[in-house]
Structure 1
Amino acid sequence: MSAQVLINLLQEELSCLECLWQTLQDEHLALRQREVTDMEAAVNKKQDAMIRLEAVFQDHEERLRMSGLPSTPEGISAYVQASTSQEQGQLSTLWEQRQERLQQCRDQNQLNGSLINRNRHQVLRALTILSGQELKSAAYGPGGDLLPSASAPRSLLGRV
């Protein structure tokens, strides 16, 4: 019976992760196309999906403890490995799918964050040019964030 509880919980988590994954894909498309209304809608949808996923994870952690099942990823993985062969196939498949989709969501969210930072940098650069301010070269850090510049100032419009 405990295995069926875990199977049901993993199916529900996987469903939430699939929803988040699709939302992150929509967000990525909106960011690449630079469609403001689509970006706003994607961000709102992503926030709702994240809130739902967090609630599901918290609820499942409590339900796992009440069922006498492990509630940590390491504990669940060990439980899946120790399951009977009849239960192990379905549990193992669901657990692997859940873990893989969770990692894909993390990776896509990081990619989207990098795209946001790059777009932000381009907008700031355009505003700097349009305002006639000095343009400074910039570099990106390992996370894709814009690092402060230390280059010598130069005029965009030239010297008059």
Structure 2
Amino acid sequence: MSAALQVELDGALSAVLDDMQRSLAELADELATERAALLAADVPAIDAAGARKQGLMQALEQLDAERQQLVSSAPRIAAAQQARWQELLGRLRECRDLNQRNGSIVQQRLGSVRRALAILTGQDSEAGVYGRSGALHASARSHMLAEV
């Protein structure tokens, strides 16, 4: 491989890694915005953050495909950028952890809503029996909660 081609490939890989770094920083910011929206129960902000997060993930996937192509074309250049790649992997793990925390908030809220619905409909979501088919059957009768 000629020196000029190596320099060009190194520059291209460096540019892709720069773009990935910027996208990861934006993703971390978006995850923080999403967390604030979840805690405030701001549905429009949650939807907007989710859409922006999805766009950033698609951009990162495209950048990673470019990175993989460059790495396979020039393994020697990829080795020189290995430390930088490890740094990006660490940032990806941080974003994954932030996303999982946001998912936990969603699961907690969903559980609360399900429990409230079970109370309002008179169904104990924990109670139920198994029928002959092996399917779980919950009590379908409702209870009077109050009398006016």
Q: TM-score, structure 1 length as denominator? A: 0.66
Judged with a 3 Å threshold, the aligned counterparts in structure 2 of structure 1 residues 53 and 70 are, in CA distance, closer, same or farther, namely farther
Aligned match of 1:106 in 96, 109, 112?
A: 96
Flag structure 1 segments of 5+ consecutive residues without an equivalent.
Answer: 81-87, 139-154
Distance 1:42 1:156 in 2: 40
Percent identity among equivalent residues? 29
* Root mean square deviation, CA, Å: 3.1
Q: Which residue of 1 aligns with 2:75?
A: 69
User: Secondary structure at the residue paired with 1:135?
Assistant: coil
User: Secondary structure at the residue paired with 2:123?
Assistant: coil
Q: Which residue of 2 aligns with 1:11?
A: 18
Flag structure 2 segments of 5+ consecutive residues without an equivalent.
Answer: 1-6, 128-141
Asked whether the 8 Å contact 2:37–2:45 carries over to 1, the reply is yes
Aligned match of 1:56 in 35, 45, 63?
A: 63
Distance 2:109 2:30 in 1: 19
Cα deviation, 1:75-120, whole Å, max 9, x if unaligned, reads: x5xx24xxxxxxx7xx63x334312211101111111111111111
Distance 1:102 1:18 in 2: 10
Judged with a 3 Å threshold, the aligned counterparts in structure 2 of structure 1 residues 64 and 4 are, in CA distance, closer, same or farther, namely same
Asked whether the 8 Å contact 1:129–1:135 carries over to 2, the reply is yes
Distance 2:15 2:109 in 1: 41
Q: Considering only CA atoms, is the larger Rg found in Structure 1 or Structure 2?
A: 2
User: Secondary structure at the residue paired with 1:126?
Assistant: helix
Matches within 5 A, 1:24-63: 24-63=31-70
Asked whether the 8 Å contact 1:26–1:42 carries over to 2, the reply is yes
Distance 1:127 1:3 in 2: 58
Matches within 5 A, 1:94-133: 94-131=84-121, 133=122
Distance 1:115 1:157 in 2: 32
Aligned length: 130
Distance 2:31 2:14 in 1: 25
